[in-house]
């Protein structure tokens, strides 16, 4: 990704014919994360415009935090949700969805990032600041997106590969609290770029 910034060579308010715009190109590294799941691989691109969420996700992935966790809440044509540390070695039927680190992340809700199919967003409890869970995330599963969530949750990345895997996960049989009857696990999460 390239960010372009333009600066004038003169501080005058009206540019002269001889003034030129100086354009600086700053290259930013795009971070990609690979989620290896029991149903296949999903590759996610993280947005540089949401640095708090990006850096937190990278930190957790690098620490192996997501390895062995479940997609504990799955709703077809809506989303697949994971990142609850209580899901590691969870018993069948155990209620999940309240676990996470002891912190939240300030909202980074930007109008250009919509809830389209494959969007990666941060889950959160109901709070007026719209602060995100420290670890729980969801991936949108709806061909038309979920525009009614725009402006309410931080979208901090998107799927670049593995839409078929999202489809497979989203259509598994679920039980109480939308938990898959047969566990869908993140075997390993890793930084690939």
Tens place of pLDDT per residue across the chain (193 aa): 223 333 333 334 444 444 444 444 445 789 999 999 999 999 999 999 999 999 999 999 999 999 999 999 999 999 999 999 999 999 998 999 999 999 999 999 999 999 999 999 999 999 999 999 999 999 999 999 999 999 999 999 999 999 999 999 999 999 999 999 999 999 999 999 7
Whether the Cβ atoms of residue 160 and residue 32 lie closer than 8 Å to each other: yes
Q: Beta strand pairing status for 104-105 and 71-75?
A: unpaired
Domain 30-191: which topology? Cyclophilin (2.40.100)
**How far apart, in Å, are the Cα atoms of 107 and each of 94, 102, 125, 130?**
29, 16, 12, 6
Q: What is the pTM (predicted TM-score) of this model? A: 0.85
């Amino acid at each position: 990704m390239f960010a372009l910034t333009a600066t004038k060579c003169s501080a005058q308010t009206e540019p002269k014919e001889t003034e030129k715009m100086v354009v600086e190109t700053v290259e930013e590294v795009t971070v990609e994360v690979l989620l290896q799941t029991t149903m296949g691989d999903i590759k996610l691109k993280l947005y540089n415009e949401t640095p708090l969420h990006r850096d937190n996700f990278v930190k957790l992935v690098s620490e192996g935090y997501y390895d062995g966790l479940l997609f504990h809440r799955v709703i077809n044509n809506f989303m697949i949700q994971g990142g609850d540390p209580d899901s590691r070695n969870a018993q069948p039927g155990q209620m999940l969805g309240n676990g996470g680190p002891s912190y939240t992340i300030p909202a980074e809700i930007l109008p250009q990032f919509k809830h389209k199919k494959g969007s990666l967003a941060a889950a959160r409890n109901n709070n007026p600041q719209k602060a995100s869970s420290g670890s729980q995330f969801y991936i949108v599963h709806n061909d038309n997106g979920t525009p009614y969530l725009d402006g309410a949750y931080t979208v901090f990345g998107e799927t670049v590969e593995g839409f078929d895997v999202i489809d497979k996960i989203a259509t598994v049989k679920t039980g109480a609290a939308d938990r898959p009857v047969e566990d869908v696990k993140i075997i390993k999460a890793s930084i690939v770029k």
